[in-house]
Structures are given as C-alpha cells and as structure tokens.
Structure 1
Amino acid sequence: MTETLITETKRTVSIEYCPKCGWLLRSAYMSQELLTTFSTDLEGVLLKPSETSGTFSVRLDDEVIFDRKREGRFPEIKELKQLIRDRVNPGKSLGHSDR
C-alpha cells in the first residue's frame, strides 16, 4: 500500500532594496518580522540587492505587492503583514496588527 503525500506549496517573499540608499537594515527588519509572523506559511524571505537606485519593492512569488516608487513611501510593517496574510492565509489572525 502506497501513501500519497499532499504537500502545500509555500510561497516566497522577495524584498528588493537599494544598497546604495542604505536600505538593507530596513529590509532585514521586515524579513525578520515576516518570518516570525508567517513561520509556517512561507518558504522564506529573499533579500535582493537592486542595481537600480531607489528601489524598494516586495514580491510574493511573482506578484509585486508593494513598490515604494509606485506608492511614494515605504510600507508600514502592519500593512505588509496584512497584504501577505490576505494572500497566503486569509483566516490567520494578526493580533494587534489587525486593529
């Protein structure tokens, strides 16, 4: 008798940032927050230095979910968690971040 394992494909977040602008620490902080909140929902978070100055964008797989240039600002961590939660685990409570 053979068992069939059904595995759920976990999603990957990529944060592309401008190293010349000094945005590595901001990117690392956001990745730590996302990995802590979505430890069982995400495959991982990739930090990607950009060759284009001023870049700060967040992707979930191939979907851009936040772009600093488009929005004219950086994302708040609460907002970023909500955007990711709505796509990877809509029923997940974010506690105080939901208020």
Structure 2
Amino acid sequence: LPRVAITYCTQCKWMLRAAYFGQELLSTFGTSIGEMALIPATGGTFTVYLTYRPDAAAEAQEVLLWDRKAEGGFPETKILKQRLRNHIEPEKKLGHSDTPSAQ
C-alpha cells in the first residue's frame, strides 16, 4: 500500500486514458505508490480508488478519488494529483499542479 486502482470502460475505449492517468500519478509520486492497477470494466465506468493506511497502526481504508459519472466527466490531471497527495503525502508540494483550477 498505497494502491491506486483505475477502473475503466473497455467498450468506451478508455484504456489509454486510464494508462495516462496512471503514469502521471506514478511519475509524480514514484515509490510513494506501492501499486497501480488498471481494471477493465464496462458500462461507462471510470473510477479512481485509493487503498491506503492513514498511519501505521490504522486499518486500510478505501477512498474514492474520482468517479466520472458522479463528477460529470474526467478529472484534470492536477485535480487527481491533489486528491491523491492529500491522502498519502499531504506535505508534498506539486509545483504548478498546486495552483487553483479554472473551474
């Protein structure tokens, strides 16, 4: 742990999008991420889950970082990085990814 799982719709051909987000998170967080999983699904699914331990003594928690259906689309990369960072490395500076979004 931490484990990031990106579930994507194969019917929608979102594998490359899922892989892109995965490589962006791995490039930014490196070995702070213990595992990155790409999970094929159907039905327009695109979710990003984090499983981690908030501290060494805690039980593992699963947190939904993004759900395309609930959020109304795909994330900006920096939003996804911020959400992940807030759980696994709250003190980490993300450079330009820390600036507010235009949303």
Which of residues 3, 11, 16 is equivalent to 1:12? 3
TM-score calculated relative to the size of structure 2: 0.83
Structure 1: gaps spanning 5 or more residues: 1-9
Cα displacement (A) at 1:53 = 1.2
Deviation string, structure 1 residues 8-58 (Cα, Å, up to 9, x no partner)? xx30100000011010000000000000101021102100001x3100000
**CA root-mean-square deviation:** 0.8
- The alignment covers a number of residue pairs equal to 89
User: Would you identify which runs of 4 or more consecutive aligned residues in structure 1 move more than 6 Å?
Assistant: none
TM-score of the two chains, using structure 1 as the length reference = 0.86
Cα shift readout 1:60-96 (whole Å, capped 9, x = no counterpart): 0122111000111111100000000000000001011
**Structure 2 stretches lacking a partner, 5+ long:** 52-61
* Number of the residue aligned with 1:60: 50
Q: Does residue 31 of structure 2 align to residue 40 of structure 1? A: yes
Aligned-residue identity in percent = 51
